Amino acid sequence: MTDTNSYQTLAKYYDKIYELKDYKGESEILKQLIKQYKRSAGKELLDVACGTGTHLAFLKEAFTCTGSDLNADMIAVAKEKHPEINFEVADMSELELGKKFDVITCLFSSIAYIISKERLSKTIKGFAEHLKPGGVVLIEQWLDKDIFRAGEPHIATYKNDDLIITRVNTSEVKGEISIFDMHYLIAERGKTVNHFVEHHELAMHPTELLLSIMIENNLETAKFKNDPKFDRGLLIGVKK
Residues engaged in binding ligand SAM (CB under 6 A): 3, 5, 7, 49-51, 54-55, 69-71, 74, 91-93, 107-108, 110, 113
Question: Distance (Å, rounded) from C-alpha 71 to C-alpha 51?
Answer: 8
Q: CB-wise, 4 or 64, nearer to ligand SAM?
A: 4
Q: CB-wise, 57 or 173, nearer to ligand SAM?
A: 57
CB of 23 to ligand SAM, least distance (A): 7
Q: CB-wise, 69 or 102, nearer to ligand SAM?
A: 69
Give, rounded to a whole angstrom, the gap between the first and last alpha carbons of the chain. Answer: 34
Other beta carbons within 10 Å of 218: 15
CB of 6 to ligand SAM, least distance (A): 8
Q: CB-wise, 40 or 109, nearer to ligand SAM?
A: 109
Q: CB-wise, 74 or 138, nearer to ligand SAM?
A: 74
Q: Nearest-CB residue to ligand SAM?
A: 51
Q: Give the amino acid at 170.
A: T
CB of 111 to ligand SAM, least distance (A): 9
CB of 166 to ligand SAM, least distance (A): 19
Question: CA-based angle 231:227:119, to the nearest 5?
Answer: 40
Question: Distance (Å, rounded) from C-alpha 15 to C-alpha 74?
Answer: 10
- DSSP letters, 46-62, are EEET-TT-HHHHHHTTT
Are the C-beta atoms of residues 173 and 179 closer than 8 Å to each other?
A: yes
CA 68 to chain CA centroid, Å, is 10
Are the C-beta atoms of residues 27 and 59 closer than 8 Å to each other?
A: yes
CB of 41 to ligand SAM, least distance (A): 26
